[in-house]
């Protein structure tokens, strides 16, 4: 009865009533660490264990409630519901399965779309709900996602997508697969219109959604411990000839392989999205402070003797690029990865505000801040730099480049991974950049 009431509220209720829907089970003890959590504010608010930080599943409504400013979410395409386009046979008909999940979740489909504000910034929002048919992408989900992406591009609204599930809707056959091309085409409109697109991957994010629009975000974030990848974990285990690493197919593993920008705890997700949206949309509301800053006169130190300058530049205690970024940008968000296979630590970068102005920044990290190991630049690091240059150009952000390097890695591995191509493309992108570039030599 409770779930049927939720569904009726979803269809006919007022916005305030729909916001109060809560489907998540409340556990007395954490399923992972077995600590008492039922009286924890962190758990009751975010469904995150305060002890081991295990992230429990949330419904689409609960995710919207955590992210959107109170009372601002206006749902779109609310009444779209799947029919049975194919004569699919099984233990239950497709219509029966849809009806059952509608009754259980209170939703009409696996995707909820609409417009809201996040910290005062208007955005289009897409949320996939794993609780409805595993968050799979059938014709209606594809239509809702594509329409939301197209609306964001047309109205110049930043797009935020939260993905859980996203496998194939096998009951719709090839029609389900077609939604990948459909949503990718719609996501391309955002890039053409230079509209920010931020994707949040939660547990699990697999299959069609992951391999289509979810991987086209300008910024891709994941919740800790999330299962992420094209194939289900069970399939990976079946085809692997050796046991999988313990963190295989997780958000943390994807971060290490350069496929994500950040792994962000759910409790910090809304503030992180707020900062990113402020940076990526700030140029639309720029007050021209940058021109005034460029007129500022600063004192310069007297020239040092040549060898003294070399000694200072090579000092082991000299600040690294990340030290400068964290000191001069407020706030600063580091972005990771080349989106191919690596997060080379010889190149670091991200977004932030410099004296109130939004900027993109890249820098060469000459050595490890932990053990002092000296870094050479790999192709993967240059491809990460290309991402920062692309973000700078797309969102009209000045680019700051901090120079401190021993040069490109001279080894065979770097050659085979395309160091020459990476250098040439990076130079080409910087030469064609439509925004100001300021290079600062902070070492050698």
| Residues 332 and 245 occupy one common structural domain | no
- Which pLDDT score, from 0 to 100, does residue 295 have? 61
* Boundary-marking domain end, from 278, 302, 322: 278
Which pTM value belongs to this model?
Answer: 0.90
Residue 305 is assigned to a structural domain of this protein:
yes
| Residues 383 and 235 occupy one common structural domain | no
| Residues 125 and 201 occupy one common structural domain | yes
Residue 14 is assigned to a structural domain of this protein:
no
Q: Give the domain extent around 173.
A: 59-278
* Boundary-marking domain end, from 278, 307, 342: 278
| Number of domains present in the structure of the chain | 2
Residue 186 is assigned to a structural domain of this protein:
yes
Residue 92 is assigned to a structural domain of this protein:
yes
* Boundary-marking domain end, from 278, 298, 327: 278
Residue 163 is assigned to a structural domain of this protein:
yes
Residue 23 is assigned to a structural domain of this protein:
no
Digit-by-digit pLDDT tens for the chain (444 residues) are 444 444 444 444 444 444 444 447 889 999 999 999 999 999 999 999 999 999 999 999 999 999 999 999 999 988 888 777 666 566 678 888 898 999 999 999 999 999 999 999 999 999 999 999 999 999 999 999 999 999 999 999 999 999 998 788 888 889 899 999 999 999 999 999 999 999 999 999 999 999 999 999 999 999 999 999 998 888 888 898 888 888 899 999 999 999 999 999 999 999 999 999 999 998 765 555 556 655 666 666 677 788 887 888 778 788 999 999 999 999 999 999 999 999 999 999 999 999 999 999 999 998 877 666 788 899 999 999 999 999 999 999 999 999 998 889 999 999 999 999 999 999 999 999 999 999 999 988
233, 27, 72, 123: CA torsion to nearest 10: -20
Residue 132 is assigned to a structural domain of this protein:
yes
| Residues 396 and 257 occupy one common structural domain | no
| Residues 113 and 236 occupy one common structural domain | yes
| Residues 133 and 84 occupy one common structural domain | yes
Residue 140 is assigned to a structural domain of this protein:
yes
| Residues 360 and 422 occupy one common structural domain | yes
CATH number of domain containing 83: 3.90.226.10
| Residues 304 and 182 occupy one common structural domain | no
| Residues 312 and 251 occupy one common structural domain | no
| Residues 256 and 403 occupy one common structural domain | no
- Which pLDDT score, from 0 to 100, does residue 96 have? 87
- Which pLDDT score, from 0 to 100, does residue 288 have? 55
- Which pLDDT score, from 0 to 100, does residue 11 have? 46
| Residues 238 and 327 occupy one common structural domain | no
Give 374's contacts (C-beta < 8 A, 6+ positions apart): 366, 367, 368, 406
| Residues 175 and 69 occupy one common structural domain | yes
């Amino acid at each position: 009865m409770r779930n049927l009431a939720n569904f009726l509220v979803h269809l006919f209720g007022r916005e305030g009533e729909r916001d109060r829907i809560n489907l998540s089970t409340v556990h007395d003890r954490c399923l992972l660490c077995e600590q008492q959590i039922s009286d924890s504010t962190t758990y009751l608010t975010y469904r995150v264990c305060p002890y081991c930080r295990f992230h429990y599943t949330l419904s689409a409504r609960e995710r919207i409630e955590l992210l959107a400013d109170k009372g601002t979410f206006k749902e779109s395409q609310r009444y779209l519901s799947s029919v049975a386009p194919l004569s699919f046979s099984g233990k239950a008909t497709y219509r029966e399965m849809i009806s059952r999940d509608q009754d259980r979740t209170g939703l009409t489909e696996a995707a909820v779309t609409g417009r809201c504000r996040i910290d005062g910034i208007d955005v289009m929002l897409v949320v996939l709900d794993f609780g409805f048919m595993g968050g799979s992408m059938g014709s209606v989900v594809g239509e809702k996602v594509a329409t939301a992406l197209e609306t964001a591009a047309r109205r110049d609204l930043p797009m935020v997508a939260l993905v859980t599930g996203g496998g194939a809707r096998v009951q719709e056959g090839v029609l389900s697969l077609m939604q990948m091309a459909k949503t990718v085409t719609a996501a391309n409109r955002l890039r053409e219109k230079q509209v920010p697109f931020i994707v949040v991957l939660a547990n699990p994010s697999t299959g069609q959604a992951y391999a289509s629009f979810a991987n086209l975000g300008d910024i891709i974030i994941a919740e800790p411990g999330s299962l992420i990848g094209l194939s289900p974990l069970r399939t990976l285990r079946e085809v692997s000839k050796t046991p999988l690493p313990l963190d295989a197919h997780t958000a943390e593993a994807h971060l290490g392989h350069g496929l994500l920008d950040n792994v962000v705890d759910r409790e910090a997700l809304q503030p992180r999205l707020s900062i990113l949206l402020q940076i990526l949309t700030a140029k639309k509301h720029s007050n021209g402070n940058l021109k005034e800053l460029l007129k500022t006169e600063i004192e310069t130190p007297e020239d040092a003797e040549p060898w003294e300058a070399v000694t200072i530049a090579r000092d082991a205690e000299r600040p690294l690029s990340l030290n400068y970024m964290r000191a001069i940008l407020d706030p600063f968000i580091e972005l990771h990865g080349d989106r191919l296979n690596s997060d080379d630590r010889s190149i670091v970068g991200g977004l932030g505000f410099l004296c109130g102005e939004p900027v993109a920044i890249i820098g060469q990290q000459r050595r490890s801040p932990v053990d002092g190991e000296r870094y050479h630049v790999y192709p993967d690091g240059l491809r990460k730099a290309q991402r920062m240059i692309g973000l700078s150009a797309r969102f009209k952000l000045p680019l700051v480049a901090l120079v401190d390097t021993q040069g490109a890695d001279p080894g065979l591995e770097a050659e085979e991974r395309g160091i020459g191509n990476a250098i040439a493309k990076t130079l080409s992108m910087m030469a064609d950049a439509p925004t100001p570039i300021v290079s600062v030599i902070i070492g050698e």
